[in-house]
């Protein structure tokens, strides 16, 4: 199921080979064009120099695929606050690293700098999302989805979180019990829990496949939140939903690096070969059509069933109803943007919990102090120590080394005179910014309670050894103003309240109900990078053992 994650290096080699062929082809064309005009030895020498330079630049651009975060971090240091350029195989990125420049990006409309154009280049939705052809500047078209997530889904969290929690407990128990036993007794003995799932607390640590467990948990939760509870019972849909993420990454990567002449044909071929997008589309269409019918019947005064999910909120949010196909396209894009990044973020927090186990007892106490009911009512804001720990983990290990991506649809100039030509990208470097001592005291050190409020610090932490490196940095995980995890301004992630509540629910369940440790500290950051993304391997070796209490 997670073949992509395991086979990614192989795919990278394939793309690398493709790149070499392309560079060769481009050079042959370039060289033959110039031979005609070659007159002297000097010309031949300049040609040779130019060729070496071009090859150097191209090799560097292709290196971005395998070493993106390192290249960005190195260039960030050299630039010392100024905008800097990084070439990638198919484009040029202009990175900014000051909050003034970030503010300037946010100040222009999306007819000048567009997130949706950048997303279109990354995801190639015409091949990956059932021919979704979204506008490169969406204007008010983005309102129904963003309002759905930012307002309706967030306000629904007190009802939703307890339901999600019930499902998550069952999924965790199933995965953890299925993991190989690493120590303890050989014979399995199971106990019935109050919620009718079983677990086996007499036995030792088990080694489940952590990342697949987290992806499945988030996929289930998102199905319930976006499409309603019925689809959770549909294994084919869930399989397609998880496979869709891998398929999208493969198809879009291949299409992006191929020459424009052949990319569409290959894209169409891959689109037919990997059919998860079709399964998702075909499953969702009748559901959305029924909802549109219900909307029409309701307008005529008929009684219709009530639904509390994203399908319904998107439909309700449009004044002139969108066609079913249009609603489904929005949902497919939402699915891609929400499953993968949330599971990866939660996975890295779990690694950090194992690397810094001294934080766990205090985080447990704090979770007990608040309790689930207060957490649910706070829409996932509670558990401040866990919140701060998550933020410190993602500050040092954001799963994305780039954020606030925009394509220039018109020429754009930053203060100081840096120009961004049409078609090129402007973006930020969260990985590098988050480690910059200009923004953070003791920037490279992990301080899990860095973001805790002073009053809470006095009440709970002052008698402990834990340090807060700098006063005045208290801030929530879902805050956008002091870091780049969620992007910028009006385009900042509208799903961040839901994402935070879900990730925190999962982490709190695992922290409270299991003891955890890394099987092998040397392999703790068992991750690889592709472009600017950082992925955990599917089989990261974390050991979990049920505790004798259930929370």
Closest approach, Cβ 18 to ligand HEM, in A, equals: 28
**Distance between alpha carbon 246 and the CA centroid of its chain, in Å?**
13
Touching ligand HEM, residues 328-357 (CB under 6 A): 334, 337-338, 341-342, 345
DSSP-derived secondary structure for 465-527: S---SSTT----TT--SS-STT--GGGS-TTHHHHHHHHHHHHHHHHHHEEEEES-GGGTT-E
The least CB distance from residue 185 to ligand HEM, in Å, is 38
Provide CB contacts within 8 A for 497, sequence distance 6+: 149, 150, 153, 154, 157, 379, 380, 478
Residue (486 or 530) nearer to ligand HEM, CB: 486
Nearer to ligand HEM, 257 or 485 (CB): 485
Question: Residues of 503-515 as b/e, b for ≥16 C-beta within 10 angstroms?
Answer: bbbbbbbbbbbbe
Q: Which part of the chain contacts ligand HEM (CB under 6 A), choosing from 72-80, 84-92, 144-152, 379-387?
A: 144-152
Give min distance, CB of 147 to ligand HEM, in A: 11
Task: Identify which of residues 63 and 167 has a Cβ nearer to ligand HEM in the complex.
Answer: 167
For residue 288 the two structure tokens come to 């959305």
Residue 145 lies near ligand HEM (rule: CB under 6 A): yes
* Residue 419: how many other CB atoms lie within 10 Å: 12
Residues 6+ apart with CB under 8 A from 154: 379, 497, 498
Shortest CB 361 distance to ligand HEM, Å: 26
Part in contact with ligand HEM (CB under 6 A); list of ranges 123-131, 145-153, 157-165, 255-263: 145-153
Q: Which of 440, 121, 381 is nearest to 263 (CA)?
A: 121
Angle at 399 between CA 82 and CA 219, to 5 degrees: 145
* 429 is a contact residue toward ligand HEM (CB under 6 A): no
Closest CA to 118 of 420, 506, 463: 420
Nearer to ligand HEM, 247 or 491 (CB): 491
Residue 124 lies near ligand HEM (rule: CB under 6 A): no
Task: Pick the closer one to ligand HEM by CB: 247 or 494.
Answer: 494
- Number of residues engaging ligand HEM in binding (CB under 6 A): 25
One character per residue 30-69, x = contact with ligand HEM (rule: CB under 6 A): ----------------------------------------
404: left (phi over 0), alpha (psi -120 to 50) or beta: left
347 marked among binding-site residues: no
- Under the binding rule (CB under 6 A), the answer on residue 405 touching ligand HEM is yes
d(CA 508, CA 513): 8
Say whether residue 532 binds ligand HEM (CB under 6 A): no
Q: How many helices (H) and strands (E) does the chain have?
A: 19, 13
Beta-strand runs (E) in 59-145: 84-88, 91-96, 113-114
Beta carbon nearer to ligand HEM, 499 or 511: 499
* Selected binder of ligand HEM within 404, 505, 527, 532 (CB under 6 A): 404
- For the sheet containing 113-114, what is the strand order? 84-88, 91-96, 425-428, 403-408, 113-114
Q: Which of residues 479-498 bind ligand HEM (CB under 6 A)?
A: 485-488, 491-495, 498
Nearer to ligand HEM, 177 or 393 (CB): 393
Residues that bind ligand HEM (CB under 6 A): 115, 142, 145-146, 149, 334, 337-338, 341-342, 345, 403-405, 485-488, 491-495, 498-499
């Amino acid at each position: 199921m997670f073949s992509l994650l395991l086979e990614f290096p192989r795919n990278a080699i394939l793309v690398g080979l493709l790149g070499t062929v392309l560079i060769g082809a481009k050079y042959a064309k370039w060289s033959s064009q110039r031979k005609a005009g070659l007159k002297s030895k000097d010309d031949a020498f300049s040609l040779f120099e130019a060729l070496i330079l071009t090859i150097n630049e191209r090799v560097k651009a292709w290196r971005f695929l395998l070493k993106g975060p390192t290249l960005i971090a190195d260039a960030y240091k050299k630039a010392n606050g100024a905008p800097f350029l990084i070439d990638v195989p198919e484009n040029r990125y202009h990175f900014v690293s000051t909050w003034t420049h970030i503010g300037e990006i946010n100040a222009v409309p999306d007819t000048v700098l567009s997130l949706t154009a950048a997303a279109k280049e990354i995801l190639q939705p015409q091949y990956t999302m059932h021919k979704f052809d979204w506008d490169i500047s969406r204007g008010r078209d983005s309102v129904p989805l963003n309002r759905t997530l930012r307002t309706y889904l967030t306000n629904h969290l007190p009802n939703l979180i307890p339901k999600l929690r019930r499902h998550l407990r069952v999924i965790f128990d199933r995965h953890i019990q299925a993991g190989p036993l690493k120590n303890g007794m050989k014979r399995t003995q199971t106990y019935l829990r109050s919620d009718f799932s079983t677990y086996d607390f007499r036995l030792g640590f088990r080694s489940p496949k952590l990342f697949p467990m987290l992806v499945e948990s988030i996929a289930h939760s998102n199905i319930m939140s976006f499409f309603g509870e019925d689809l959770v019972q549909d294994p084919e849909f869930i399989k397609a939903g998880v496979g869709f993420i891998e398929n999208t990454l493969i198809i879009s990567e291949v299409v992006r690096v191929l020459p424009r002449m052949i990319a569409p044909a290959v894209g169409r071929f891959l689109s037919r070969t990997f059919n998860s997008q079709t399964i998702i589309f075909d499953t969702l269409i009748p559901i959305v059509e029924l909802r549109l019918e219900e909307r029409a019947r309701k307008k005529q005064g008929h009684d219709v069933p009530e639904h509390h999910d994203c399908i319904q909120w998107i439909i309700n949010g449009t004044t002139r109803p969108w066609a079913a196909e249009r609603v489904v396209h929005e949902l497919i894009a939402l699915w891609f943007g929400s499953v993968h990044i949330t599971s990866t973020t939660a996975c890295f927090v779990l690694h950090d919990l194992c690397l810094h186990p001294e934080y766990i007892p205090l985080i447990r106490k704090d979770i007990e102090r608040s309790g689930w009911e207060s957490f649910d009512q706070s829409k996932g804001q509670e558990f401040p120590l866990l919140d701060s720990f998550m933020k410190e983990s993602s500050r040092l290990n954001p799963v994305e080394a780039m954020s606030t991506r925009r394509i220039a649809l018109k020429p754009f100039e930053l203060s100081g005179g840096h120009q961004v030509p049409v078609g090129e990208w402007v973006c930020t470097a969260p990985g590098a910014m988050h480690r910059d001592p200009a923004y953070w005291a003791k920037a490279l050190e992990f301080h899990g309670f860095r973001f805790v409020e002073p009053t809470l610090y006095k009440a709970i932490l002052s008698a402990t050894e834990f340090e807060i490196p700098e006063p005045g940095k208290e801030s929530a995980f879902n805050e956008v103003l002091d870091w780049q995890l969620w992007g910028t301004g009006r385009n900042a992630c509208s799903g961040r309240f839901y994402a935070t509540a879900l990730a925190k629910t999962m982490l709190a369940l695992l922290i409270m109900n299991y003891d955890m440790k890394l099987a092998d500290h040397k392999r703790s950051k068992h991750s690889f990078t592709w472009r600017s993304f950082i992925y955990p391997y599917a089989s990261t070796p974390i050991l979990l053992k049920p505790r004798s209490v259930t929370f």
